[in-house]
Chain A
Amino acid sequence: MKQQDKDLDQSARVIRRRALVLGGLQLGFAGLLTLRMRYMQIDQADQYRMLAEENRINLRLLPPTRGLIFDRNGVPIAENDQNYRVVVVREDAGDVAAALERLRALIPITQEDIDRTLRETARRSAFVPVTVADRLAWEDISRVAVNAPALPGLHPDVGQSRIYPMGQDFAHVVGYVGPVSDYDLSKLEDPDPVLQIPEFQIGKVGVEAKLEGDLRGKAGNTQIEVNAVGRVMRELSRTEGQTGNNLQLTVDEKLQNFAQARLEGESAAVVVMDCQNGDLLALASSPSFDPNLFVRGISSADYGLLTNNKYRPLANKTVQGLYPPGSTFKMVTALAALEAGLVGVEDTVYCPGHLTAGGRRFHCWKRGGHGHMNLHNSLMQSCDVYYYDISQRVGIDKITEMARKLGLGTRYDIPMSAVAEGLTPTKAWKRKRKDADWRIGDTLNASIGQGYVLASPLQLAVMTSRLATGTDVTPHLVKAVDGVDQPRPEPQSLGLKRSNLLGVQRAMFAVSNNRRGTAYRSRVDDEGLRIAGKTGTSQVRNITKAERARGVFRNEDLPWERRDHALFVGYAPAERPRYAISVVVEHGGGGSKAAAPIARDVMLAAMGDGMPDLKAYPAAHRGAAKERLDALHLRNRPAPAKPKTRA
């Protein structure tokens, strides 16, 4: 008991001693807190009061500079332009409506701007700047800057805006940018904070959209101190953003301009490709539109004009337009039969003008028939019966296999919007999609590129490249990213028999250069620039028995949308293929009349650095050619001979 007492007393002493030490430390720390409070609230009160009252620290995101887009020679296609604008910050302005009224007295802003700004400011956080008006003149922006003290919450600002100096030439290839929409944000899982910046532009279509990740860059930020009237006092810290990567496309700006101008007035598409390495040199789709309209926010009137146009200016016909390839498909059918060993190059078929199969009569375009036809003559004169005949022997599956081998029915991985896959039909496909058996008539139709077969101008250009080189060349649109050349796989041989390919190539040469060839009227005189090609005319309607008996309507007598599509594919120079081309003129009539002349002009432009050499035309054609070329609306003519310094 006594021992316990003593023990307890001793323990209580220890605790008391330590409790005093601890209590002292705690109160000491409380004293330290008091001193800190005193220091902040009394000694430094003025400074903090100023920070709180007159100065506010603003954290602002610095939008990154978007990467530029150049053509293959370093000519800019998409640039950034200084854009002067006025923004309003609700928490600085107090009464936004009153602030805008004061602004209206200084610079011209519309009621529409005011209404939109009021809506935006109400929707966003108080400290987010909202654009009142942009693309202001220098005088206007200076007036705002000078009057800043009288305009609390309104800040002059300079931003960057996309500009497309080539106007409509690259509308379909490069596309355009526009302000981030709620729809854009909803599509992203983890949106970049920079997208919250009002008026921040992101790619909407084409290369701008598909390569957004490369082009955008990374946002920086800056901490700035501003006083009560919104003047920036000083910058406290600044982290620079990262400029987006510059892109260099494979497209040649001059050739693109020429092709686009040559197609003016037509609803048509042209694709020019380097058939050796796959570089896409021109992708012209007509009619086009000015992408700069979209950057600014297109008016509904302008948009209505674009959507109501029956020539569909908004559609990119080069990659998303799908057409029956017509006679340009005959090389595929021929090669399929030759490679299968079922037909020899010199084997002939008799063409009486029609062929009966599966109880139906299939007509050749030439009513009287072509007589005895071998591969060379059938391709040169585009005899249909020859292909009806051999297609029955080789069958649809072999034809489709060859079509895919030559690059049809495949979606190419190029950064453009809505790249179409096309259609190379098989029996299984018809079973599944049409719930019907494959009929012999389907094979016959497919053999001349009609029926179910569909291809885009891009695919036709790839097909022609492969026919010209015998390799599996694939198309490329991006030459370099951030100065680094993009790797291109070396094209590999398709493994086609040399004599078969040569037979087809010789026939294609004859199409353009033999007196009886369907494109002889669009021949080239210069031996080094001669074209090998194939015309095509694809029907968009069925010709009834009654009409055939009465006499088939000529295209000129039909309404535009029922006329045939005109096609031409070709490569040049015929002896040493360098360029491949495909031309589709929607409802243009016959391929030899509507498409081949375009192909000749564009091909000669490709080989003549953006402008055809008149001497290459046959003497009899030169006068008309000169007249035609002089009438083209080219961007800068004559082409300036300045050395290119920009890269």
Chain B
Amino acid sequence: MSYLEHQIKSVPGGARKLLYVNWSLVLLLVAIVTIGLAMLYSVAGGSFSPWVEPQAKRFIMGMVLMFIIAMVPIWFWRNMAGLAYLGSVLLLLAVEFVGVTGMGAQRWIDLGFMRLQPSELMKIALVMMLAAYYDWLDLEKVSRPFWVLLPVVLIMIPTALVLKQPDLGTAILLVTGGGIVMFLAGVHWLYFGAVIAAGAGTIYTVFASRGTEWQLLKDYQFRRIDTFLDPASDPLGAGYHITQSKIALGSGGWAGRGFMEGTQSRLNFLPEKHTDFIFTTLAEEFGFVGAFSLLALYGGVLILCLGSAMVNRDRFSSLLIMGVAATFFLFFAVNMSMVMGMAPVVGVPLPLVSYGGSAMLVLLAGFGLVQSAHVHRPR
């Protein structure tokens, strides 16, 4: 902390801060959201309602939020990390326990203009918390077992709460996102190798036990796993959606069928066509060119964040930037793998494109933090 205080005079102040904002990143985000709005317009059958209008409003709100966060010095946010984490855990607990008994199994908190899902908030709060933790921790302690266990517990608490909801997609994002921050902070390779090996070993043992006397899971649990791994075995449910999703994607071809011309998307085969499966509409209507363009924009965001993190000498800042970028990456990587039939269907939206308020606001707030770190970086 002292380091930052010494450099404080070199940080821009007042309105001049706006000049130091990473404007290329802002431009990329606006481009991505614009694509999202166009797709929402298309899946609504050429109408601004019911999705484009509220989504645009929330985007403007999110941009304002992003700039407010960006203008606040990064050391303030670092000091807020613990509070943000604690607050998010409490909110998760609130919807878990109060929600079930008092509010009728709600997973969100009504803010009046939108419904906030604490699990979305948690994704950024966890990254902040872990970044602050490693900012505080001496480098030589990073790989010591006790100091590794502590962040693992910090990750597991919200993950367990989210799994109980149950929200597998968010749980995967939290574990992987948290793990990535730990990896960046310099935790020894062997820990990650061990975890991966142990996970694979457990899965192997469980499956090897199938049909033997010491079977670890009940038969019906195995059948559920089968359906999960092979959706085609459930032709009335997930399998049908994936098949249709792949047809929509593949039939887009090089240049697609043109805006609002996708036949598959018109067939109402997907209940989530405006949220989790929106990428299929883009791929069908704009083809490989359109789908790749979106992926390139996403890649651009990652590269800008990587560059910003590389030049930032503040440990909290670079961990935070990379953490937010990793969360962003996980969003689109999981979503795209899912609609392309490379991963089982878990509810993860396409970031900044899928319809939905919480995810967009939280992501833009996260990029606000990235901007703040960028503006207030030590020079």
Residues in chain A within 8 A of chain B (CB atoms): 4, 7-12, 14-16, 18-20, 22-23, 26-27, 29-30, 33-34, 36-38, 40-42, 44-45, 47-49, 51-53, 57, 59, 91, 126, 221, 223, 237, 239
Q: Are B236 and A45 in contact (CB under 8 A)?
A: no
Q: Are A57 and B243 in contact (CB under 8 A)?
A: yes
Q: What is the minimal beta-carbon distance from A40 to any residue of chain B, in angstroms?
A: 4
Q: What is the minimal beta-carbon distance from B94 to any residue of chain A, in angstroms?
A: 33
* Residue among A26, A30, A48, A91 with most chain B CB within 10 A: A26
Per the bound structure, the CA–CA distance linking A8 and B2 in Å amounts to 12
Q: A7-B139, A30-B299, A40-B340 are in contact. Are A15 and B309 (CB under 8 A)?
A: yes
Contacts of A29 in B (CB 8 A): 329, 333
Report B240-283 CB contacts with A as 1/0, cut-off 8 Å. Answer: 10011011111111100000000110011000000000000001
Per the bound structure, the CA–CA distance linking A126 and B263 in Å amounts to 14
Residue in A37, A44, A51 whose CB lies within 8 Å of B291? A37
Contacts of A42 in B (CB 8 A): 253-254, 288
Q: A7-B139, A12-B313 are in contact. Are A23 and B246 (CB under 8 A)?
A: no
In the complex, whether B133 has a CB less than 8 A from a CB of chain A is: no
Per the bound structure, the CA–CA distance linking A11 and B139 in Å amounts to 7
Q: Are A41 and B288 in contact (CB under 8 A)?
A: yes
Residue in A8, A37, A53 whose CB lies within 8 Å of B315? A8
Contacts of B33 in A (CB 8 A): none
Q: Are A4 and B251 in contact (CB under 8 A)?
A: no
Q: Are A37 and B310 in contact (CB under 8 A)?
A: no
Residue in A4, A38, A57, A59 whose CB lies within 8 Å of B288? A38
Contacts of B251 in A (CB 8 A): 45, 48-49, 51-53
Q: Are B318 and A40 in contact (CB under 8 A)?
A: no
Q: What is the minimal beta-carbon distance from B336 to any residue of chain A, in angstroms?
A: 5
Q: Are A41 and B250 in contact (CB under 8 A)?
A: yes
Contacts of B216 in A (CB 8 A): none
Of chain B, the residue at the smallest CB distance from A41 is B288
Contacts of B3 in A (CB 8 A): 4, 8
Report B284-301 CB contacts with A as 1/0, cut-off 8 Å. Answer: 000110011001001100
Q: Are A4 and B342 in contact (CB under 8 A)?
A: no
Q: A11-B186, A16-B310, A26-B329 are in contact. Are A41 and B322 (CB under 8 A)?
A: no
Residue in A20, A22, A41, A239 whose CB lies within 8 Å of B249? A41
Per the bound structure, the CA–CA distance linking A454 and B127 in Å amounts to 81
Per the bound structure, the CA–CA distance linking A42 and B251 in Å amounts to 9
Q: A22-B183, A91-B267 are in contact. Are A41 and B254 (CB under 8 A)?
A: yes
Q: What is the minimal beta-carbon distance from A399 to any residue of chain B, in angstroms?
A: 58
Q: Are B186 and A8 in contact (CB under 8 A)?
A: no
In the complex, whether B326 has a CB less than 8 A from a CB of chain A is: yes
Offer 7 A-B interface pairs, CB within 8 angstroms, sorted by A: A20-B310, A26-B325, A30-B302, A37-B288, A41-B254, A221-B235, A237-B235
Q: A8-B315, A34-B292, A37-B292 are in contact. Are A19 and B250 (CB under 8 A)?
A: no
Q: What is the minimal beta-carbon distance from B144 to any residue of chain A, in angstroms?
A: 15
Q: What is the minimal beta-carbon distance from B331 to any residue of chain A, in angstroms?
A: 12
Q: Are A221 and B236 in contact (CB under 8 A)?
A: yes
Of chain A, the residue at the smallest CB distance from B340 is A36
In the complex, whether B337 has a CB less than 8 A from a CB of chain A is: yes
Of chain B, the residue at the smallest CB distance from A14 is B186
In the complex, whether B319 has a CB less than 8 A from a CB of chain A is: yes
Residue in A4, A10, A16, A239 whose CB lies within 8 Å of B2? A4
Contacts of B236 in A (CB 8 A): 59, 221
Per the bound structure, the CA–CA distance linking A556 and B225 in Å amounts to 79
Per the bound structure, the CA–CA distance linking A263 and B365 in Å amounts to 86
Of chain B, the residue at the smallest CB distance from A7 is B139
Q: Are A19 and B184 in contact (CB under 8 A)?
A: yes
Q: Are B306 and A23 in contact (CB under 8 A)?
A: yes
Q: What is the minimal beta-carbon distance from A218 to any residue of chain B, in angstroms?
A: 14
In the complex, whether B37 has a CB less than 8 A from a CB of chain A is: no
Per the bound structure, the CA–CA distance linking A9 and B322 in Å amounts to 18
Residue in A19, A223, A237 whose CB lies within 8 Å of B310? A19
Q: Are A44 and B184 in contact (CB under 8 A)?
A: no
Q: A48-B247, A53-B263 are in contact. Are A18 and B299 (CB under 8 A)?
A: no
Chain B binding surface SS class: helix
Q: Are B299 and A37 in contact (CB under 8 A)?
A: no
Per the bound structure, the CA–CA distance linking A42 and B295 in Å amounts to 16
Residue in B186, B247, B249, B267 whose CB lies within 8 Å of A18? B186
Q: Are A41 and B298 in contact (CB under 8 A)?
A: no
Interface size class of B (residues with CB under 8 A): 35 or more
Contacts of B184 in A (CB 8 A): 15, 18-19, 22
- Other 13 A-B pairs with CB < 8 A, given A12-B318, A38-B288, A52-B251: A15-B319, A26-B325, A26-B329, A40-B249, A45-B250, A48-B247, A49-B253, A51-B250, A51-B251, A52-B247, A53-B263, A221-B235, A237-B235
Q: What is the minimal beta-carbon distance from A506 to any residue of chain B, in angstroms?
A: 65
Residues in chain B within 8 A of chain A (CB atoms): 2-3, 138-139, 180, 183-186, 235-236, 240, 243-244, 246-254, 263-264, 267-268, 283, 287-288, 291-292, 295, 298-299, 302-303, 306, 309-310, 313, 315, 318-319, 322, 325-326, 329, 333, 336-337, 340, 342
Q: Are B319 and A48 in contact (CB under 8 A)?
A: no
Of chain A, the residue at the smallest CB distance from B6 is A1
Q: Are B139 and A19 in contact (CB under 8 A)?
A: no
Chain A binding surface SS class: helix
Q: What is the minimal beta-carbon distance from A9 to any residue of chain B, in angstroms?
A: 8
Q: Are B183 and A52 in contact (CB under 8 A)?
A: no
* Residue among A20, A51, A52 with most chain B CB within 10 A: A52
Q: Are A19 and B263 in contact (CB under 8 A)?
A: no
Contacts of A52 in B (CB 8 A): 247-248, 250-251, 263-264
Q: Are A37 and B340 in contact (CB under 8 A)?
A: yes
Contacts of A223 in B (CB 8 A): 235
Q: Are B186 and A15 in contact (CB under 8 A)?
A: yes
Q: Are B235 and A59 in contact (CB under 8 A)?
A: yes
Of chain B, the residue at the smallest CB distance from A48 is B250
Q: What is the minimal beta-carbon distance from A329 to any residue of chain B, in angstroms?
A: 58
Q: Are A19 and B318 in contact (CB under 8 A)?
A: yes
Contacts of B319 in A (CB 8 A): 15
Per the bound structure, the CA–CA distance linking A59 and B243 in Å amounts to 12
Per the bound structure, the CA–CA distance linking A485 and B198 in Å amounts to 56
Q: Are B139 and A48 in contact (CB under 8 A)?
A: no
Q: Are A34 and B180 in contact (CB under 8 A)?
A: no
Q: Are B180 and A8 in contact (CB under 8 A)?
A: no
Contacts of A12 in B (CB 8 A): 313, 315, 318
Q: What is the minimal beta-carbon distance from B288 to any residue of chain A, in angstroms?
A: 4
Residue in A19, A40, A91 whose CB lies within 8 Å of B322? A19
Residue in B263, B306, B318, B337 whose CB lies within 8 Å of A33? B337
Per the bound structure, the CA–CA distance linking A18 and B325 in Å amounts to 14
Of chain A, the residue at the smallest CB distance from B322 is A19
Contacts of A26 in B (CB 8 A): 302, 325-326, 329, 333
Contacts of B254 in A (CB 8 A): 41-42, 45
Per the bound structure, the CA–CA distance linking A12 and B322 in Å amounts to 13
Q: What is the minimal beta-carbon distance from B209 to any residue of chain A, in angstroms?
A: 28
Of chain B, the residue at the smallest CB distance from A125 is B268
Contacts of A41 in B (CB 8 A): 249-250, 252-254, 283, 287-288, 291
Contacts of B295 in A (CB 8 A): 30, 33-34, 37
Of chain A, the residue at the smallest CB distance from B315 is A11
Q: Are A37 and B283 in contact (CB under 8 A)?
A: yes
Per the bound structure, the CA–CA distance linking A342 and B78 in Å amounts to 102
Per the bound structure, the CA–CA distance linking A12 and B251 in Å amounts to 47
Contacts of B291 in A (CB 8 A): 37, 41
Q: What is the minimal beta-carbon distance from A526 to any residue of chain B, in angstroms?
A: 65
Q: Are A40 and B329 in contact (CB under 8 A)?
A: no
Per the bound structure, the CA–CA distance linking A29 and B240 in Å amounts to 26
Q: What is the minimal beta-carbon distance from A62 to any residue of chain B, in angstroms?
A: 12
Contacts of B298 in A (CB 8 A): 30
Q: Are B333 and A33 in contact (CB under 8 A)?
A: yes
9 nearest A-B residue pairs (beta carbon): A48-B250, A52-B251, A45-B253, A14-B186, A23-B306, A41-B288, A40-B250, A49-B251, A48-B251
Per the bound structure, the CA–CA distance linking A29 and B335 in Å amounts to 13
Q: What is the minimal beta-carbon distance from B57 to any residue of chain A, in angstroms?
A: 30
